[in-house]
Structure 1
Amino acid sequence: MSTPETAAPRTAVVTGASSGIGAATARTLAAAGYHVFCAARRVERIEELAAEIGGTAVVCDVTDAASVAALAERVGPRLDALVNNAGGAFGMRPVAEADTEEWRRMYDINVIGLMQVTRALLPALIASGAGAILNVGSTAGRTAYEGGAGYTAAKHGTKVVTETLRLELFDQPVRVMEIAPGMVRTEEFSLVRFDGDQDRADAVYAGVPEPLVAEDVADAIGWMLTRPAHVNVDELVIRPRAQAAQHKVHRVG
């Protein structure tokens, strides 16, 4: 029989771990005692991160079923926590000018990818006896705004999948949670959204005294996951103080 000294550490999978909120969450969970499987497409980044935190790098594209199956095999029969962080926003065109491929890509990553990873790892989460699924949504999954229809639709999908999964797993030893960040300044999110246009990316945060940073969201994720197993934080909306609502942001200068 294992003792506290010899028991295996808790394990967690973090998707989209190569940068931003995902990388910060991997570091936070490692500091809390988890062995973290750092899953993302960019091998060099996740290998560096895994080496830093004593985790395991797993190359994974959440939109590819075979890649997700390989992740589940690498994780094994037992898993304590899954953070579905892989996501992304592409473009800001109005619906009348929408790019079909941008919309499809957002849905594939934010909804289909989340489903595929959850489906593949759910048996291991149940087997742990106290599993936790934490989906990284967005305030965009709660409020519409001009130019954001493709992303807001995808993140509304993230929210509803989370709510449905909680209903479906009500009698299983798995908590199902969502964190919905507002304005978070990371090195890549807006830059990717605007196809590498640094000026447009910078304008999103221009004059905002203190937007959230990845570590703020990771800290909240760590808190949610480390509550007692009977405590389910259904959803946590987190914004910078300067952002009163999606459309109302205090800017200086």
Structure 2
Amino acid sequence: MKVLITGATSGFGKAIAEKFALPGNELWITGRRTERLDALQQDLQQNGIIVKTTGLDVRDKQSVNALAAAVEQEWHGVDVLVNNAGLALGANSIDEGDTEDWDDMIDTNIKGLLYVTRAIAPLMRRQRSGHIINIGSTAGKVVYQNGNVYCATKFAVDAISQSTRIDLLPHRIKVTSINPGMAETEFSLVRFKGDGAKAGQVYNGFEALRAEDIADTVYYCATLPPHVCINDLTITCTQQANSIYKAGN
């Protein structure tokens, strides 16, 4: 399989890349932190597979289009696209929100996903096969206090996934939305802008999901028979029912 993964420098994206690093697969990993990309490339190539990297901010439409052109030239097509790049910033009431944070979340979580999908989907359409896997969130299923704009972006991912599935149905392209709940990655550290103590409190009393759990699920969905497509999948740890209801130890 030829697998393209955005946001591969940490968390879900890194774990997904590691999961797909198997003989016979080729990976193209992207992310904003090029030094991490290079380190991951070196690690994954020890498995004897081809790994290409591109430093990429999905908010930059021209860069996304340049990536697609490079992928078309090198690979001619893509079997699996994992739209993983995304983030949460802040956790404030709507009347106290930082509008720059709002812009970053909307530009990354919605517009970035759209840019990448628009650039890569034609390659899949041409080959009449492919699988687009969008990483959503339980925040795109049930809103929670102070989640406002982040939740809105993940509701958008859900809607985009559903409509993309319909639009690409005639071309035999699969679309899957995977919606994780609480997962102990760099997510909260980014959200609270490097405040490790505050980020750590999010997971107190919980055995949260791990990045590897989501990677296993992505791999499972991507390796099902050609006639099987999981459209939508919500995953939580045992102690979480949805964005609101949780039970500590």
Same fold (TM over 0.5): yes
Query: Which amino acid in structure 2 is aligned with residue 66 of structure 1?
Result: Q
Query: Which amino acid in structure 1 is aligned with residue 35 of structure 2?
Result: E
Q: Give the aligned length.
A: 241
- Say if 2:226 is the partner of 1:229: yes
Q: Structure 1 residue 225: deviation in Å?
A: 0.6
The 5 A counterparts of 1:46-85 are 46-54=37-45, 55-76=51-72, 77-85=76-84
Aligned-partner Cα distance in 1 for 2:86–2:133: 13
RMSD over aligned Cα, in angstroms? 1.1
| CA displacement, residues 115-166 of structure 1 (integer Å, 9 cap, x when unaligned) | 0001111122223332000000000001011010010000001110111111
1:43 corresponds to which residue? 34
The 5 A counterparts of 1:72-221 are 72-76=68-72, 77-186=76-185, 188-208=186-206, 210-221=207-218
Of all paired residues, the percent bearing the same amino acid is 40
Aligned-partner Cα distance in 2 for 1:132–1:172: 11
Q: Secondary structure at the match of 1:133?
A: strand
Name whichever of 123-132 and 107-116 sits farther off.
123-132
| CA displacement, residues 10-66 of structure 1 (integer Å, 9 cap, x when unaligned) | 201000000000000011112374211011111111111122223111111100011
1:7 corresponds to which residue? none
Q: Secondary structure at the match of 2:9?
A: coil
Q: Secondary structure at the match of 1:185?
A: coil
Query: Which structure 2 segments of 5+ residues have no match?
Result: 46-50
Q: Structure 1 residue 236: deviation in Å?
A: 0.8
Aligned-partner Cα distance in 1 for 2:9–2:143: 28
Aligned-partner Cα distance in 1 for 2:108–2:161: 15
Q: TM-score, normalised by structure 1?
A: 0.92
- Say if 2:244 is the partner of 1:250: no
Aligned-partner Cα distance in 1 for 2:28–2:88: 24
| CA displacement, residues 161-206 of structure 1 (integer Å, 9 cap, x when unaligned) | 11111111110121011000001101x1101101111111001000
Q: Secondary structure at the match of 1:243?
A: coil
Q: In structure 2, do the counterparts of structure 1 residues 249 and 33 end up closer, same or farther at CA, with 3 Å as the change threshold?
A: farther
Aligned-partner Cα distance in 2 for 1:127–1:206: 48
Name whichever of 237-246 and 137-146 sits farther off.
237-246
Q: In structure 2, do the counterparts of structure 1 residues 32 and 89 end up closer, same or farther at CA, with 3 Å as the change threshold?
A: farther
Query: Which amino acid in structure 2 is aligned with residue 42 of structure 1?
Result: R
Aligned-partner Cα distance in 2 for 1:91–1:225: 33
| CA displacement, residues 81-107 of structure 1 (integer Å, 9 cap, x when unaligned) | 100000000000101111111111101
Provide runs of 4+ in structure 1 moved above 6 Å.
none
